Amino acid sequence: MGRKVILMKFKLLKTDSGCGARRGRLETAHGVIETPMFMPVGTQGSVKSVSPDELEALDTRIILGNTYHLYLRPGAERIERFGGLHRFIHWDRAILTDSGGYQVFSLAPMRKIEEQGVHFQSHIDGSRHFIRPEDAVRIQQQLGSDIAMCFDECTPYPISRDYAEASAERTVRWAQRCKAAHQRTDQALFGIVQGGVFPELRRRCLEQLQAIGFDGYAVGSLAVGEPKAEMLRVLNQLVPAMPAAAPRYLMGVGTPEDLVAGVAAGIDLFDCVMPTRNARNGMLFTAAGHLQIKNRCHADDPRPIEEGCTCYTCARFSRGYLRHLFMARELLAYRLNTLHNLHYYLNLMGDIRAALDQDQFADWTREFHARRGSGDGGEQGAAS
Q: Which amino acids are annotated catalytic?
A: 98, 271
The minimum distance between CB 350 and its own copies, in angstroms, equals 24
Phi, psi of 383 (to 5 degrees): -130, 140
Answer yes or no whether residue 120 interacts with its own copies by CB under 8 A.
no
Considering only 169, 330, 351, 367, the residue that binds its own copies (CB under 8 A) is: 330
- Interaction of residue 331 with its own copies, rule CB under 8 A: yes
CA 149 – CA 136 distance, rounded (Å): 9
Could you say which residues in the range 185-214 bind its own copies, by CB under 8 A?
A: none
The CA radius of gyration of the chain, in Å to the nearest whole number, is 20
**How far is the C-alpha of 70 from the C-alpha of 87, rounded, in Å?**
14
Amino acid of residue 134: E
Residue 4 CA, distance from chain mean position: 26
Q: Does 366 interact with its own copies (rule: CB under 8 A)?
A: no
The answer to the question of residue 93 lying near its own copies (CB under 8 A) is no
Give the residue with the Cβ less far from its own copies, 91 or 102.
91
Q: Which CB, 208 or 384, lies closer to its own copies?
A: 384
| DSSP conformation letters of 168-222 | HHHHHHHHHHHHHH---TTSEEEEEE--TT-HHHHHHHHHHHHHH--SEEEE-S-
Residues 17 to 76 in contact with its own copies, rule: CB under 8 A: 44-46, 48-52, 69, 73-74
**108 makes contact with its own copies (CB under 8 A):** no
Among residues 10, 38, 71, 88, the one that binds its own copies under rule CB under 8 A: 88
Q: Single out the residue of 299, 303, 307, 357 in contact with its own copies (rule: CB under 8 A).
A: 299
* Cα–Cα distance for residue pair 197/59, rounded to 1 Å: 35
Q: Is 115 in contact with 174 (CB distance < 8 Å)?
A: no
Residue 88 Cβ, how far from its own copies at the closest point, in Å? 6
Angle between helices 228-238 and 199-212 (to 10 degrees): 40
Q: Is 49 helix (H, G, I), strand (E, B) or coil?
A: coil
Out of 115, 302, 308, 370, the only residue in the binding site for its own copies (CB under 8 A) is 302
* Site for its own copies contains 281 (CB under 8 A): no
Of 215-223, 264-272, 334-342, 363-371, the segment contacting its own copies by CB under 8 A is 334-342
Shortest CB 77 distance to its own copies, Å? 10
295 binds its own copies (CB under 8 A): no
Using CB under 8 A as the binding rule, whether residue 80 contacts its own copies is answered as: no
CA 324 to CA 188: how far, in whole Å? 45
**From residue 163, how far is each of 152, 153, 154, 170, 313 by CA, in Å?**
14, 11, 12, 10, 47
- Minimum distance between the CB of residue 269 and its own copies, rounded to whole angstroms? 24
Please, what's the b/e burial string for 192-203 (b: 16 or more CB within 10 A of its CB; e: otherwise)? bbbbbbbeebbb
Q: Taking the complex as a whole, how short is the minimal distance between the CB of residue 305 and its own copies, in angstroms?
A: 14
Site string for its own copies, 306-325 (x = CB under 8 A): ----------xxx-xx-xxx
**Amino acid identity, position 227:** P
Nearest to 225 by CA among 253, 246, 248: 253
Interface residue with its own copies among 122, 327, 350, 378 (CB under 8 A) is 327
Q: Which one, 15 or 318, has the nearer CB to its own copies?
A: 318
Q: Which stretch binds its own copies (CB under 8 A): 160-168, 263-271, 329-337, 366-374?
A: 329-337
Contact call for residues 249 and 190 (beta carbons, < 8 A): yes
Contact set with its own copies (CB under 8 A): 44-46, 48-52, 69, 73-74, 78, 81-82, 88-90, 299-300, 302, 316-318, 320-321, 323-325, 327-328, 330-332, 334-336
